[in-house]
Structure 1
Amino acid sequence: MTAITARSTGVTTTSTQDVIALVGRILIAYLFIPAGFGKLMGFAGTVGYVASSGLPLPQVGAALAILVELGVGIAFLLGYKTRVAAIVLAVFTVLAAFFFHKYWAVPEAMKMMQQINFNKNIAIAGGLLGFAAFGPGRLSIDKR
């Protein structure tokens, strides 16, 4: 394995690390892109779900969720503006955890599932912040 230092970041990666970073981007994008597409295809239901959480302007919230999940998710997948995309997705994911997985405020029968989803969102945000810190690897638009 040959290490290469990226001029813009000072981060040295091997070809193995670059492949792992690509696989990581694919796996994380797999969460966002299909979800955004589903929200787009079921926009009325998405608006209803956002409204049920008590957030204001549910149409705007649903549209923003679609933009983030589809648009920013695709950018992240391709490694385009990856650091910014990762931060946007991390913030979005933490906000979704607090607004849609309030395990502390649900009936006992729903508590465990909501807590699992909350914790998964927080962990996903942590993974995204790793990409924000270290970049997408060389197999990305950012590194071309």
Structure 2
Amino acid sequence: MTHSTGVTTTTGQDALALAGRALIALLFIPAGFSKIGGFAGTAGYIASKGLPLPEVAAAIAIAVELGLGLMLLFGWRTRLAALGIALFTVVATFIFHNFWAMPAEQVMQQQQAFFKNIAVVGGLLAFMAFGPGRWSLDARTGRH
């Protein structure tokens, strides 16, 4: 089917785009909910990394993970949501998974987490570049 942008996709491609959005959102939405329930612990962990205003940073993390995660899931303002989550993830990855500054026994685990996050950023950038597919609120509202 041809979109309003002139791009043609198949039902299979649209199904894969929906599945991709859901799988990436599955990483962020539960994390946002857990930060609400464990707000003090989240702020404490952020403070332990030396960041200023840890409560504000925790609130931003919740807004990004939960708010932008839901936007990505439903395909609403998908490109904006994907970019926001990608930028947040890059910043958080360099702060919280800085394997190069970890004790030797933590390097492998933190390096894996670092590169997994960077791979997720790659998926988010693909949604920014190509949009959410036809099975999205963006497609229904002509925001493709």
Smaller-chain TM-score bracket: over 0.9
- After superposition, give the CA deviation of every residue in 1:55-90 in whole Å (9 maximum; x if it has no partner): 110000000000000001001000000000000011
Give runs of aligned pairs for residues 83-102 of structure 1, distance below 5 A: 83-102=79-98
C-alpha separation in 1, matches of 2:44 and 2:7: 44
C-alpha separation in 2, matches of 1:118 and 1:54: 19
2:136 partner SS = coil
Partner residue in 1 for 2:122: 126
Partner residue in 1 for 2:135: 139
- After superposition, give the CA deviation of every residue in 1:89-125 in whole Å (9 maximum; x if it has no partner): 1111111110100000010000000000000111000
C-alpha separation in 1, matches of 2:2 and 2:57: 40
Partner residue in 1 for 2:2: 5
Quick one: which amino acid aligns to residue 5 of structure 1?
Answer: T
Partner residue in 1 for 2:112: 116
In the alignment, which of 22, 38, 42 is matched to residue 42 of structure 1? 38
Identity, % of aligned positions? 61
TM-score normalised by structure 1 residue count: 0.95
| C-alpha RMSD of the superposition | 0.7
1:63 maps onto 2:59 in alignment: yes
Matched length:
140
1:27 maps onto 2:13 in alignment: no
- Per-residue deviation, 1:11: 2.5
Unaligned runs of at least 5 residues, structure 2: none
Quick one: which amino acid aligns to residue 138 of structure 2?
Answer: D
1:6 partner SS = coil
C-alpha separation in 2, matches of 1:67 and 1:137: 24
C-alpha separation in 2, matches of 1:5 and 1:51: 49
Tell whether the 8 Å contact from 1:11 to 1:134 is kept in structure 2 after alignment: no
1:76 maps onto 2:72 in alignment: yes
